[in-house]
Structure 1
Amino acid sequence: MMFVSLNLMSSLKIKKTLSYQGNNLSYTITYKEQKHIILRVIQGEVRISAPFNTPDWEIEKIIYKNISKIVSVQNKHIIASVYDFNTLKPWVKVFDQEMEIIIDENLTRSKIENNKIYMKNYFNQEEQVKKLYSILAKHYKNWFISRTIDWSLKMNVQFRNVNVKLMKAKWGYCLPKDSKIAYNTKLLHFNDEIISYVIIHELTHILHPNHSKEFWHFVERYCPNYKELQTQLNSTGI
Structure 2
Amino acid sequence: MMFVSLNLMSNLKLKKTLSYQGNNLSYTITFKEQKHIILRVIQGEVRISAPLNTPDWEVEKIIYKNISKIVSVQNQHILSSVYDFNSSNPWVKIFDKEIEIIIDENLTRSKFENNKIYMKNYFDNEEQVKKMYSILAKHYKNWFISRTIDWGLKMNIQFRNVNVKLMKAKWGYCLPKELKIAYNTKLLHFNDEIISYVIIHELTHILYPNHSREFWNFVEIYCPNYKELQILLNSTGI
Tell me the TM-score range normalised by the shorter chain: over 0.9
Quote the residue 1:24 is aligned against: 24
Deviation track 1:14-50 (CA, whole Å, cap 9, x = no partner) reads 1111222222111111122222221111000111112
Q: Secondary structure at the match of 2:209?
A: coil
Q: Aligned pair 1:11/2:11, yes or no?
A: yes
Describe the SS at the equivalent of 1:15: strand
Alpha-carbon distance change, 175 to 19 in structure 1, aligned in 2, over 3 angstroms: farther
Give 1:178 shift: 2.4
Could you tell which deviates more after superposition, 26-35 or 87-96? 26-35
Maintained 8 Å contact 1:35/1:51? yes
Alignment correspondent of 1:69 = 69
C-alpha root-mean-square deviation of aligned residues, in Å? 1.5
**Residue 169 of structure 2: SS of its match in structure 1?**
coil
3-state DSSP of counterpart to 1:177: helix
For 1:7 and 1:86, how far apart are their aligned partners in 2? 49
TM-score (norm 2): 0.93
**1:142-153 aligned within 5 A:** 142-153=142-153
Which whole-Å deviations, capped at 9, do the CAs of 1:48-88 have from their partners, x for residues lacking one? 11222222222222222221111110111011111111112
When normalised by structure 1's length, the TM-score is: 0.93
- Name the structure 1 match of 2:199: 199
Residue of structure 2 equivalent to 1:166 = 166
- 2:218 partner letter: F
**Structure 1 residue 138 and structure 2 residue 143: aligned?**
no
What SS does structure 1 have at the residue aligned with 2:177?
Answer: coil
Stretch moving more, 13-22 or 40-49: 13-22
Question: 1:101 aligns to what?
Answer: 101
Report the Cα distance in structure 2 between the residues aligned to 1:5 and 1:180, rounded to whole angstroms.
54
Residue 144 of structure 1, CA deviation = 0.8
Where does residue 222 of structure 2 map in the other structure? 222
- What is the match of residue 45 of structure 1? 45
Q: Distance in 2 between matches of 1:234 and 1:48?
A: 18
Please list every run of at least 4 consecutive aligned residues from structure 1 whose deviation after the TM superposition is greater than 3 angstroms: none
Tell me what 2:189 maps to: 189
- The number of residues matched between the two structures is 236
Structure 1: runs of 5 or more not aligned:
none
Letter in structure 1 aligned against 2:87: T
**Higher relative contact order (Cα pairs below 8 Å, separated by 6+ residues):** 1
Q: Percent identity?
A: 88
Q: 1:32 to 1:125 in 2, by over 3 A?
A: same
Q: Is the 8 A contact 1:21 1:170 kept in 2?
A: no
Task: Please identify, of 208-217 and 63-72, the stretch whose mean Cα deviation from structure 2 is larger.
Answer: 208-217
The C-alpha deviation readout for 1:183-228, integer Å capped at 9, x for no partner, is 1111101111111011111111222222222222211111112122
Instruction: Give the AA of the match of 1:28.
Output: T
Give ranges in structure 2 of 5+ residues lacking alignment.
none
**More displaced 10-residue stretch of structure 1: 164-173 or 187-196:** 164-173
Distance 2:18 2:178 in 1: 28
Q: Confirm whether residue 90 of structure 1 aligns to residue 96 of structure 2.
A: no
> Are the counterparts in 1 of residues 30 and 50 from structure 2 also a CA contact under 8 Å?
yes
**In 2: Cα distance, 1:8 partner to 1:95 partner:** 42
CA deviation after TM superposition for structure 1 residue 140, in Å:
0.8
Cα distance between partner residues in 1 of 2:206 and 2:36 = 44
Change (3 A) 1:187 1:6: same
In 2, the alpha carbon distance for the partners of 1:77 and 1:59 equals 23
For residue 4 of structure 1, report the CA deviation from its aligned partner.
5.2
